[in-house]
């Protein structure tokens, strides 16, 4: 094996590694957002429900884009032996980039939910 083959193999390994991290994080965040129950906050729960809905939708969009990336790039390139030229990578990497952005948005929504609960609990003391 020469240097070019090793670089190509390493780049495929890194892509699979990044995809796996994003998929695991999206799955965990989706579960965290779906199982959230804000019943104890009464009317204040409406704000939390909106955040929960937006976060869940973003996390599910992230999962859909990651599955699309799996089907359009990872399986054909890794298992099918198709060439992965630069034009092919630029098209498929857009799905990966969007999945990452949706994941970040979902994580921000979940963090805002947690911070809102802290503020709500502090305000209800008074």
The whole-chain average pLDDT of the chain stands at: 85
Tokens of 121: 């609990």
Is the separation of the CB atoms in 55 and 111 below 8 Å? no
The pTM is what? 0.83
With bands split at pLDDT 50, 70 and 90, how would you rate the model's confidence at 87?
low
Is the pLDDT assigned to residue 77 strictly greater than 70?
A: yes
Domain ranges for the chain, please list them. Answer: 3-124
């Amino acid at each position: 094996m020469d240097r070019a083959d090793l670089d190509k193999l390493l780049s495929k390994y890194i892509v699979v590694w990044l995809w796996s991290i994003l998929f695991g994080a999206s799955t965990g965040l989706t579960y965290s957002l779906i199982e959230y129950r804000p019943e104890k906050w009464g009317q204040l729960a409406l704000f939390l429900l909106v955040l929960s809905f937006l976060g869940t939708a973003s996390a599910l969009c992230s999962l859909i884009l990651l599955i699309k990336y799996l089907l359009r790039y990872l399986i054909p390139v890794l298992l099918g032996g198709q060439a992965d030229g630069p034009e092919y990578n630029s098209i498929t990497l857009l799905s990966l980039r969007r999945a990452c952005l949706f994941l970040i948005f979902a994580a921000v929504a979940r963090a805002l939910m947690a911070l809102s609960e802290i503020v709500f609990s502090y305000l209800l003391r008074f």
